[in-house]
Structure 1
């Protein structure tokens, strides 16, 4: 059985148990046990009713964990009153599970972990490997998260914006271990998009698809980064780009612009350019203006300044950058790029070196160090 299919069934199976009166935390544990048994006992061909099989095993696991004479009789009466797994097929609790796992009372890291386990169907070990932490640490994080949402009603209205932020966090983690978190975030966002007509959910899906399409060209064989202007665009995934553009256009036609839609529009303009020098920077600046009206964060300001530098020249870009908090991550890197574009190579080299010292990843540090070394070759001794 394809493991991805098992993961897709996870929210529905948890939903069935919750509707039978099982609390969320217990239902999630029981379903995890059913998933483990499925991967170890199913033959190459899945059962005729995979969801029904998982419901049956998870329900038995729940009963086994709580067996006593009186409680057993009560639960057996409840079992007789339950619909068969096949009758529950029309119930889709995916959206409520997203709301529960991304509850505002949870920290971002806890919300991410709980979403990956309860909605994504990943094991604690897989999540721990992806985040490079011990399995025991991740197990404690998930247990605390489940305790936090223990008293939240399953049908309580949730915050979709929080869910989208959690999914974006998962996407930006990339991947380590045996789970590709970027691909998993896309899968989960597709799943969420199937439960809502929200424009921002579509915008986030489009943004993920468009960014993910460039992934094959982002690194060289030795793992070093390739900047966007230098990427081999023939390696971009044109099918993902086409899908992302279609999803975005449908969302934009509803004329309720949000941040993810604006970011996706910028990504689409980058994807549309056959060569870096053909990028429509004027339109990109226009979309950054729209994004800035929705979110005037320093990150948006920083990226907008770089876009202005491309559209109107380095001096205009540096003037826009002057309004940004200089303690911002990647401020020095943006300043270095614009100074290089202006021809101020000694200043740019020093700024690239400064940016390398504070880079958040080894790959970025290496890339920025190479940029500083490249410019210093042209400086007089």
Structure 2
């Protein structure tokens, strides 16, 4: 365990859901990381740094805005490869983050191809660098934590879906919580060592619980009964693709390990449901079925306003109806007056 030099996770006020999601991602990094949404000043980086203390080594790496692809993945020295017959690799941020936390602030402001690259490495646990036919692979097993403020720009749905878990921080904590947050922050700033000693017991307990869960994770089966429940709920939520099913099953297993259970139970499935579905659930219901065209619709009643089916056209409009021609009327014939 590291010599904690930053605010301990156990001392963070409230944010229980987020602390749980972070711990689950630490138990099983294959979940795919955590995306935290919320405005500035909500201690997102404090939570991410606190999570690093729960991992062996406590490594915490921040990806700065404006970082190039080479700085992230590392570089290969072609001259050394061609002249000496060996691949000389200069590690990047992914290599430094191996075994720890990679924190990406304002991930929605990064170019899409860099976000895609980070998510690939987080999901596979491997970084693959190739240049002019020369390649190098190294372990990059880290917990990816991204933050964003939706008011500053959205993340494309294809990238949003690839983050395992997603949560939003409450921008308006209750007055008592606000006051306690300020008290603890002032106490930490005034005497960090004394503050860490005050919370050492709770932080150690949290660290040991995560370690036990990581060790027992592989023994918990990804059973068919849990998968059937999850698949039915993903279908009901109308999520696209199958990533939600995979992430939900992994997160439920991590939660079972967190509880010290031997198998996945309904409580584990329920506990992580919103983490998995929040950024994948369809916000618009599928369009209503259209009536068969060969059956005329009943005219609307004149005693009540007509109701427009949800999801069809603009509010207040009626769908166009085919009009059948009526009997042809002959023009009047005028006779000459005698």
> Which structure would you say has the larger Rg?
2
Higher relative contact order (CA 8 A, sep 6+): 2
Structure with more helix by fraction: 1
* Shorter-chain TM band: under 0.3
TM-score computed with the length of structure 1 as normaliser? 0.20
More strand by share: 2
